[in-house]
Structure 1
């Protein structure tokens, strides 16, 4: 096993694990910086409870797709799925935190550990896919240069 292969496996394994754990943990918590007399609405936003809820199954499906693609032998497909899943997870997390007026970094409800872990997992998968893509492009350029 080459060092690059081991590095990719660690990145993908770390990304898959952190997304899976992050999807289970709560994504939102009450802002600890609110004043003691602040009025907190009694609403339930998806992602406030621990456990798997609606969008968590989609995230776990994407994680399963990455793992399934890694079992195959098509390197280009693995790279594309890993990169697109990582970027998609990060964009979903950004969209989730900016959708509602009560949710945000300085709002009534702020991101909790699950959200941060899911973002980290998406970044790890993006890095793994991006590294694979850049090495594939460099190999193609070297091969083209040798053929000229």
Structure 2
């Protein structure tokens, strides 16, 4: 299996992971809360299954990466888009957890499967962009004088 086919597998895996992760809930009630804990009746975007709000932006970003990878022949554009969307897809879920004091790893509402799948997809996109990065970074050639 060559490097290009591995990158394609990672890209397809990242696309599926983000699409499924965007559909599934991102938050659930913390199972470690005591049975008598008062859970506020609030609804945050991402608590229910289905596409809503920010999910469309994530799917649009993934669509942009796939479009650029199919249409563009420039390695730099493909690499930069894949890397930027991958990093953004990692940073956005982290930012999402900091939206409220009720959301976090040890708060009232904790990340659910959809959140983890979205982060995994972002990591896969970042890996693909990172694998292509050396091909666009050129080493400066040694400068020699004409007299040598």
Matched with 1:120 is 120
Question: Does the Cα contact within 8 Å between 2:25 and 2:49 map onto a contact in 1?
Answer: yes
Matched with 2:20 is 21
How far apart are the structure 1 equivalents of 2:2 and 2:141?
Answer: 25
How far apart are the structure 1 equivalents of 2:48 and 2:28?
Answer: 9
Tell me, which stretches of 5 or more residues in structure 1 are unaligned?
A: none
Q: How does 1:88-99 map to 2 (within 5 A)?
A: 88-99=88-99
Q: How does 1:55-134 map to 2 (within 5 A)?
A: 55-72=54-71, 73-134=73-134
TM-score by length of 1: 0.92
Q: Deviations over 1:83-133 (max 9, x none)?
A: 000000111010001111000000000000000000000010011101101
Aligned length, in residue pairs: 143
How far apart are the structure 2 equivalents of 1:108 and 1:77?
Answer: 42
The offset of 1:135, in angstroms, is 3.2
Higher helix proportion (structure 1 or 2): 1
TM-score by length of 2: 0.92
Q: Runs (4+) of structure 1 moved beyond 3 Å? A: 144-148
How far apart are the structure 1 equivalents of 2:2 and 2:135?
Answer: 13
Which deviates more from structure 2 when the two are superposed, residues 3-12 or residues 79-88? 3-12
Matched with 1:49 is 48
CA root-mean-square deviation: 1.5
Tell me, which stretches of 5 or more residues in structure 2 are unaligned?
A: none
SS in 1 for 2:98: helix
SS in 2 for 1:110: strand
How far apart are the structure 2 equivalents of 1:131 and 1:102?
Answer: 37
The offset of 1:146, in angstroms, is 8.3
